[in-house]
Amino acid sequence: MKLFCIGKYGPYPKAGESCSCYVMTHNGKNIVIDLGCGALSKLLNMLPSRDIDALVLSHLHADHMGDALTLRYALEVDRKLGRRTEPLPVYLPAEPHAESSLLSSHAMMDAHFMTDGMRIQLFGMDVAFAEMPHPVPSFAMSFATGGRKLVYSGDTRDNGRIIEFAAGADLFVMEAALLEKDKAPAAPHVSAKDAGRIA
């Protein structure tokens, strides 16, 4: 497994940058994890849309899925030009329905809705999902193969469950949207200090 960071900003992209997006490569397959605002343009510098093999969205806030809406058009062009014949597998939360339906209803997206504790096989990897506390359903995810484990937190409040879920990870990608001094008591994100402690 290899992981590439395409974008890391939120809740909106810094000038010239993009919101959350990562590409994991494994066994010649390209799995895109989150596709926030501004990320598609940067992603296409790395690989063409026809070479995306799966899309996994941690949650349906725009800074993590906004460019998935634009990706629909790229997939449709790929289909019309004969570069893609099958819909793209997309793993995402079912809620909020207003957002999920924009993706699940598209002919070139094969939607699979995440549930807490769900496990799947994806290109030879064991993938697990765990729901985390956030204003909308948000899922941490782990990818394991060959004795190695990668965990991505998605957006979450500080909580014991992410510590348990990430245990034993060889690589742990943890959100840290705030500085400790700026963190409100009920903040839906962790601070950089929290992230260091959790890791």
Q: Which domains are assigned to the chain?
A: 2-198 (3.60.15.10)
CB 9 within 8 A of CB 32: no
| pLDDT score for 150 | 97
Q: What is the pTM of this model?
A: 0.93
Residue 33 three-state SS: strand
CB 152 within 8 A of CB 132: no
105 CB neighbour count, 10 Å cutoff: 10
For 9, which DSSP code? B
Instruction: Write down the residue that tokens 């629909």 correspond to.
Output: 72
How close are the terminal C-alpha atoms of the chain, in Å?
20
| pLDDT score for 179 | 66
Amino acid at 25: T
| pLDDT score for 198 | 74
* Crossing angle between the packed helical segments 97-104 and 62-80, to the nearest 10 degrees: 20
Please report the DSSP string for 54-78 in residue order: EEE-S--SHHHHHHHHHHHHHHHHH
CA dihedral 42, 18, 61, 129 (to 10 degrees): 60
Kindly list the averaged pLDDT for each block of 10 residues, start to end, along the chain of length 199. 94 93 97 98 97 98 97 97 97 98 97 98 97 95 96 87 92 80 72 74
| pLDDT score for 182 | 67
Instruction: Give the tokens for residue 137.
Output: 């359903």
Q: Which residues pair with 33 in a beta bridge?
A: 22, 56
Cis peptide before 11 (omega within 30 of 0): yes
Length of the chain equals 199
